[in-house]
Every structure is written in structure tokens, then in C-alpha cells.
A and B are shown apart, each in its own frame.
Chain A
Amino acid sequence: MSQSELTREVARRVFASEFNDSTYTFKESDDERAPNFALLPTGDRANRVFIVGTLTETEDVGEDSEYWRGRVVDPTGTFFVYAGQYQPEAASILRETEPPAYVSVVGKPRTYETEDGSVNVSVRPESIAVVDAATRDRWVVETAERTLDRIEAFEEWEAEQEAPESASTAPTNEYAQMAREQYDSPVVNYRNDVIQALEQLEEQEADATA
């Protein structure tokens, strides 16, 4: 445990559509301070994410004190980012930035249950920065690549599961297994989102050079 506490958790790259489906959270030890993970449906764990998108709307939804909500849009959907008094720097960026603007957000996945019983996933930011269009495009490509890698690993694991003769030597993919147990949504959906995101970039580029 001491070792993993010293190691900084990596910031996963994940599109909004997949992030918002990551409703199952878990810890890997009983330690009070053990990190919390959201389970990505493509079969990985995320304690931290790095997202880049268009900040389209900000609103102070706090009652007694300031509590800012920002909508950050990527090609597949919308991230909800909430910053309050314990995230003063992120909150001040949301307060002061005039949408629309490209922003990057480093933060932790948080889940909460709504009154009707569904689970919403949001981002609690560690930092928010205003960035340029090139950074946003680079993030889309990078996130597409990381997502495809996860899908590939998931499908390899799935194929091994279905081939009984190789069952004993099947590579373990702990989080793919967990995702299959916890979620209904097939991973091919996320592949389609990746394609859609990349096609948008390509069109954009074609428009720019036309």
C-alpha cells in the first residue's frame, strides 16, 4: 500500500460519452486513504482524468456559497465540472471565463445518485486552464488512441474467454472483467464514438484547407 500511495495516479484520457457511463466506483484496499476509482466501460480504472473541450456554459448553482458548474463539450458529449470553495482556483476560472472557450481540466471522477435513482458522473477539478484549438485537437486524437487501445485489450480478453481451449492461458484483464460484470453497454458503442470524433476532426481539416 505504501508504494501505491507514493505513486501519482495517472490521468486517463476518456471521451465524455464513456466518462458519463462510468457509474461504478470502487477502492482497491480497505485503507481509509486508498484512492477511489471509477470503472471505465472499456475496461480500465480512472482515479484522475485529463479532458479538453469547449466550455459552453457556466453557472453558479450554489445556495449558501459559490458552487460553479461548467459544461465542457467534446465530440461525443458533455462533461459536467463542479468547483466550489475547496477548489478555489478552478472555481475562479469558471467564474471569470467567458464561454465559449477551449479549456483543459485535470480532475477526479465523482458520482452522485439523483432522486430518480440514476447515477450521474461529474468531474471535480484540480485545475482548469484556458487552451487553444490545437491543444483541443491533439487531445481528441490522443483520447481516440487511448480509447482504441482499451477497446483492443478488452476485445482480446473477450476472445480468449470465448475460446475454451485457451482458457487456462488467457491473459487476465481485471478491469475488462469488472466492466462486463457491471455494465450492459457493449464496447463497440465507444468505438463508434471514437470514429465520430475523428471524422469531425478530418472534416474540420478539410474545411480549413478547402
Chain B
Amino acid sequence: MSDVRQHADDIHDQFSDHLDVSVEDVEERLATLVDEYKVPMDEARRSVTNHYLEEAGLDREDLSSGSSEAVNVEDVDEPEQWVDLTAKVIELWDPRSDSVAQVGLLGDPTGTIKFTKWAKSELPALEEGGVYSLENVVTDEYQGRYSVKLNSTTIIEELDEELEVGDDTSEIEGALIDMQSGSGLIKRCPKEDCTRVLQNGRCNEHGEVEGEFDLRIKAVVDDGLDAHEVIFDKDATENLTGLSLEEAKDMAMDALDTTVVADEIADDIVGTYYRIEGPTFGRYVLADDVSELDGPADAEQLLIKARSM
């Protein structure tokens, strides 16, 4: 097969769902540009593709580069992939722009992911709580978070079934091997919706403010394979250490120094094994459910394995 024919086939495949066009027609257009007008092949392809896009009234992103693949939400880890999802609409949010018809959160048993549906795609509306099969959606990434975009080629089918939705909960078992700065008794900016942690009495956004005391721990829990950063909020910190915010304030007052609180907490928790469950938030795990691993360790199974190796 000639080079031109091969490219013509590719382009034809992309449009076969949208336009009644023959491979020969595509090939002729390509050949004219490449052979007669000495246009490089990739430029010729671009030009011919654009021609058909216009004819079909489509956007470049509406074209699939091949067939899409059925995936689970947790498998979405690359932008610009064409995928099929079966997911439940967990939440619909208010679109911030007229170009967006619907935006919200989809979920399946493996996790949750944001979706965007463009107004110009003219797709049927999704309903909160509905379970849908979504064919031909495109993945996208922004600052390490993935989302999917519904487009005019997306096939939406409402399914009459229930789908259990898993959250992005992590479960870690390991040793707490480090407590990071910014742990213990801290002060937060009191301005509405700010809550930034003050550095030397200053908020990054609002300058010098009268801060409000809070307790938290930023720690590293390590299982020998991965180092996880874990945040304990006030409640989790109080449960973990048995130290209340009031007691922590008194301690700091007596010592005229807030760092005594962090030191006391570090003495208590560093070097201890924990199991931690909680939602992931960027690179952090929020400690929702914490238990100390202090039961007997089971050596027997491992011993059997070691002896048989």
C-alpha cells in the first residue's frame, strides 16, 4: 500500500462515523497536496483532516484517534486518552461558563473523577444519582488531577442499575517515621475562608493578623516501599495523642513557647506503627481512622515462605 493510501485510510477511519466519504476521495485530496504542491505529508494530513472536520461540523477533539477502551475511574492516569466509563453521577456543580453545559463528579467502585460536558456538544442532560454508560470520553489532566470531557461523539446511555461508588480512600500500614514542621500547636488566619497557617504571626494573604490556635500533625508514614504524607486534623490529633487543644495551649503558655507541644507529640508517636485510613488529597492522606498496630506480629507464615525459597 502506498504511503498516501495508508494515510488516506487513517483519515477515512476517523470520519467514517460522521461523513459519507470514500477512501479514494481522501486519497485524491492528499495526493494533490503531496505530489503536485509538494506539501509535506504531516501538513497535508492536517489540511485534509481540517477540510473534513469543517464539512462534518466537528472539532478536532471530537475525533477519536482509534477505538476507545473501557476503563475504571482509577485507571485514568494519562491525559488525552479515549475511554469508555460506566459511572454514577455523584454531584452536579454549577458551570462557571456558558460554554459548559454540565460539570460534576462521576464515580465507580474504584474512585471518583470530575467530568465536563460542553454546551456545543448538545448531549442529553445527566441527572444526579443516575448511572450511565459513557462511550468515547476524553481524559484530561490539570495539576496532577484527572478529569474526563464529554464531547459530541460521546454516546450516553442511562443504565437501570445501581453502582456502588468507592472514594479515593487510602489505607496505609507503616511506621510513623517523621513529623514535619508546621505540626503541633499552630495559628491560622481568622479571615473568612482563609484558614492559612501563619508564619511568625503573618498570613501570606492578609499580613499580620491575630491568629486562632489549632492542632494538627503533618507526618510521614512509611512502609518500606512508599513514604506517605499524612495530615491529622484537630480531632485526629486529639484522638492520637490524648492531648486536647486546651491542654496544648496551657502547655505552650507555661513554657512561653509553642514548640513544646510538637516536641511532646513527636516523642509520643515517632517510631510507632499505625494503620491509617482516609481520603487522599493531592499528595496527602487525611487521617480519618487511625489505629496503632500493637498486636503480635505473625512470623509463622513468613518463616514457612523463607524456608521454602
Contact = CB atoms under 8 A, between A and B. Distances in A.
B224 A138 contact: no
Contacts of B229: 8
Interface residues of B, number: 31
B224 A141 contact: no
A205 B306 contact: no
B151 to A, nearest CB: 31
A198 B299 contact: yes
Given A134-B296, A201-B297, A129 B267 contact: yes
Interface stretch (A17-25, A76-84, A146-154, A170-178): A146-154
A199 interface: yes
A95 interface: no
Interface stretch (B53-61, B205-213, B253-261, B269-277): B269-277
Nearest to A208: B296
A52 B176 CA distance: 13
Nearest to A147: B306
B224 A11 contact: yes
A141 B300 CA distance: 9
Contacts of A141: 297-299, 302
A132 B295 CA distance: 12
Which residue among B175, B224, B267, B294 has the maximum number of chain A CB atoms within 10 Å of its CB?
A: B224
Which residue among B293, B299, B303 has the maximum number of chain A CB atoms within 10 Å of its CB?
A: B299
A66 interface: no
A138 B297 CA distance: 5
A137 B271 CA distance: 13
A137 B225 CA distance: 19
A195 B309 CA distance: 11
6 contacts: A11-B177, A50-B177, A52-B271, A104-B177, A141-B298, A148-B309
Interface of B: 175, 177-178, 220, 222-227, 229, 266-267, 270-273, 293-300, 302-303, 305-307, 309
